[in-house]
């Protein structure tokens, strides 16, 4: 959840309607969505659940944290991050502990009603097929292995799916760290670190150079890199929607 908190708590994802924020919090209760609670330093993550929302009195009640050590981490009064899901989209807020209480016979925490709710909009997770000529050959610079060169199939702000030839020295593995992924998007050179999230089976093994699908997740994205991808993905998504309606 560390990467989610780094993206989620930005002004652009603020929910500006108090009624909407209250509605989302109540839906999290109705659907029994779990909560992830991260102390301010984000060094650890604890589990909880939202039990009560009381906007007029400016507090919420959440279940005691698991593991139990998380409850003590909140007693210093420092703000903490809370993340859940609403309709499959990450939502979050910051709060502070008011007091530890018993709720319906079980330990619970009364926390401050959030001043601001954040909603990570779906568009950041859209994958769009890349238009011909928009994205160059993708150069994957591997650690301790020869580079691979592939063709992008689809792209999101968070990652890419592409076709690459089979590695002749060291096989690609899920979880492999790639120090540098380089490509040109609409004639703008971009580079980023990545992690392999999916390695597919070889396709058409009778060809001279069979290819396999590969899914990668971008890591440690610079703001300019992320903004460039977001602009492209949003525009390309609108283009595909217009084409589908014709």
Integer Cα distance of 19 and 206 in angstroms: 60
Entry pTM: 0.52
**CATH 2.30.110.10 is the classification of domain 2-120:** yes
Q: Coil, helix or strand for 46?
A: strand
- pLDDT digits 0-9 by tens, 135-168: 999 999 999 999 999 999 999 888 999 999 988 8
pLDDT of residue 244: 66
Span 227-235, average pLDDT: 86
The residues pairing with 89 across neighbouring beta strands, listed in sequence order, are: 86
Write down the CATH superfamily of domain 125-245: predicted glycosyltransferase like domains (2.40.10.220)
**How far, in Å, are 44, 79, 93, 171, 198 from residue 68 at the CA level?**
12, 18, 21, 42, 35
* Token output for 203: 């396709």
- pLDDT digits 0-9 by tens, 23-66: 999 999 998 999 999 998 888 999 999 999 999 999 999 999 99
Domains of the chain by residue range: 2-120, 125-245
Q: Report phi then psi at 13, rounded to 5.
A: -105, 10
């Amino acid at each position: 959840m560390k990467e989610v908190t780094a993206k989620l708590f930005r002004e652009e994802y603020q929910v500006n309607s108090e009624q909407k924020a209250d509605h989302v919090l109540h839906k999290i209760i109705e659907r029994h969505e779990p909560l992830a609670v991260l102390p301010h330093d984000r060094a650890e993550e604890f589990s909880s659940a939202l039990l009560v929302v009381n906007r007029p009195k400016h507090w919420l009640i959440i279940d005691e944290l698991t593991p139990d050590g998380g409850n003590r981490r909140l007693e210093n009064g420092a703000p903490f991050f809370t993340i859940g899901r609403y309709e499959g989209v990450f939502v979050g807020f910051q709060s502070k502990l008011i007091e530890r209480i018993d709720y319906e016979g079980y330990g619970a925490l009364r926390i401050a009603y959030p001043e601001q709710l954040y909603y990570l909009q779906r568009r950041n997770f859209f994958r769009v097929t890349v238009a011909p000529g928009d994205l160059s050959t993708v150069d994957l610079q591997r650690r301790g292995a020869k580079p691979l060169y592939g063709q992008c199939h689809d792209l999101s702000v968070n990652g890419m799916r592409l076709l690459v030839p089979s590695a002749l020295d060291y096989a690609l593995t899920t979880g492999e760290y790639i120090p540098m992924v380089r490509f040109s998007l609409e004639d703008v050179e971009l580079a980023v670190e990545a992690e392999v999230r999916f390695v597919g089976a070889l396709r058409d093994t009778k060809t001279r150079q069979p290819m396999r699908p590969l899914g990668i997740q971008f890591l440690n994205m610079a703001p300019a890199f992320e903004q460039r991808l977001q602009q492209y993905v949003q525009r390309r998504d609108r283009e595909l929607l217009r084409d589908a309606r014709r």
